[in-house]
Amino acid sequence: MNELSYQEKCACARSGFCTYVDGQDDFTSTEKEYLVKIIVYNNLSVVLYVSSALVAWSFVAGVIGAVLFPGIIVYAIFHGVVDYKVLIPPIVFLVVNFSAKLIYIGLNLKGRMGFKDIFISALPYAGSAYLLKKFLINDKLLSKAVVLYLKFKKQLAKDYFLNLIVKRNS
């Protein structure tokens, strides 16, 4: 990072993604400098943060949906009631979930995406992938850096949860 300004170095130090790229041996110094500038000036750390949040959000919503929808079917079977009132909770959940995602993405990525892109990103289970595709598809080096970073974060998460399980069983 010899050619970077003081402000660029400071901005990079505040970004987990940028510091990860800077510390990798998979990239040459020229590639690192290029990636750091792209990350800092395009504020890609925010995109990765929002994308990661959408993955977690989809996981939680999927678990809720896996409990809510079958629960309603079981309720309807046992009570012999298949009525619009039974369908209200999942419909409300879907609408509130989608609206909250629209607001979250819109606030965090304001000015970087149009409403159509925000709308597509808020769709269940597809938002994270769409964001990554939108911001990274044209730059192969940046795509490689993101893939490596996401693998690193995935491994950290796995290690964290495995350590919790091991500690709990000890």
Instruction: Convert the pLDDT of each residue in 71-81 to its tens digit.
Output: 877 877 787 77
For residues 29 and 23, what is the distance between their CA atoms, to the nearest angstrom?
10
Same domain? For 12 and 71 the reply is no
Structure tokens at 97: 């979930």
pLDDT per residue as tens digits for the range 15-31: 888 888 888 888 888 88
- Count helices and strands (H / E) in the chain: 8, 0
- Which two three-digit tokens encode residue 31? 């590639």
Indicate if 118 and 53 belong to the same structural domain: yes
Higher pLDDT, 122 or 74: 122
Q: Are residues 53 and 128 in the same domain?
A: yes
Query: Kind and range of the H or E element at 64?
Result: helix 44-79
Q: Examine the domain organization and report whether 131 and 142 are in the same domain.
A: no
Rounded distance between C-alpha atoms, residue 164 and residue 41, angstroms: 37
146 and 69 part of one domain: no
Domain containing 73 equals: 49-136
